[in-house]
Amino acid sequence: MVDDTLRLGYGGSASVDGIQVLVTSGNFENTSAISYLESYDVKPTGGSRSRVKHADGTNSYSASLSLDVTNDFLTVLTTTKLLSRGYSFDIGLHDGNNARILEDCYLQSLSVSGAAEGIINANLSAISAKSPVPSIAVKNSFIRNQSPIGYWYSGNTDVRDWTLTMNQAVSPSYTNQNVVNPRYIKVGLIDFNLSVTTYQAVVAHSTINITTSSFTLTGDTSSTGFAFTGTTDLGNYTHSFDTSAIIGFALGGSDGIIIT
């Protein structure tokens, strides 16, 4: 019997740190790294020879989301600690019929980008020491009337397109116990990168604006370029800016502020 109550993706939703976002796609993934052994003595006779399961191994849990940036998601970036090192949060995913939530996530990467004639979009990936579970708490309101933020409300002087990326070194840590799940998530360093394309050889940008919010990076220019991309396009300049803290105890050292 066919269940005719299922809804297509337009009925789906997602939430990040308790805020519903205008999701375009997303997924949760459970991965099992099973331990196998290969026999030392593999005779040429016999109908089958294969690896042998040694142990259950380890499990890992991850999430990824793609979304159109709205004022609500911009609030997540500016008023929570989502861009801070070691911040844990929940990700909810609803397909219109069923919902799951991945709790205590840690960002692996987050990118926000805008390009001429488009809207601002974001992509994020995260991992957790827990597995996704069914949930009735994932927000599923109709928010299609929320306006995505257009590219023209962002950028800087003469910027044609831009991408702001955060990377965080996180990895699952396993202890010498008879369990397959991670004991905790190990958090390493964070860094940011701002890549922009401009039509003029202006001063290299380290700040990007999104409506009334701005993000300013501390670091150095890592690359610049000049390109002619064909007879139907204008020549352009590219610039990439990478963050780094300023050395010295008085200046903060490794815990110095790299984004404001």
Q: How confident is the model at residue 177 (pLDDT cuts 50, 70, 90)?
A: confident
Question: What is the SS3 string spanning the chain?
Answer: CCCCCCCCHHHCEEEECCEEEEEEEEEEEEEEEEEEECCCCCCCCCCCCCCEEEEEEEEEEEEEEEEECCHHHHHHHHHCCCCCCCCEEEEEEECCCCEEEEEEEEEEEEEEEEECCCECEEEEEEEECCCCEECCCCCCCCCCCCCCCEHHHEECCCEEEEEEEEEEEEEEECCCCCCCCCCEEEEEEEEEEEEEEECCCCCCCCEEEECCEEEEECEEEEEEEEECCCCCCCCEEEEEEEECCCCCHHHCHHHCCCEC
Q: How confident is the model at residue 101 (pLDDT cuts 50, 70, 90)?
A: very high
pLDDT for residue 200: 82
Arithmetic mean of pLDDT, 190-212:
89
User: pLDDT exceeding 70 applies to what percent of the chain?
Assistant: 94
Q: How confident is the model at residue 248 (pLDDT cuts 50, 70, 90)?
A: low
Per the CB < 8 A criterion, the answer to whether 207 and 216 are in contact is yes
Arithmetic mean of pLDDT, 26-44:
88
Q: What is the pLDDT of residues 142-170, one digit of tens each?
A: 876 788 999 999 999 889 999 999 999 99
pLDDT at 260 over 60: yes
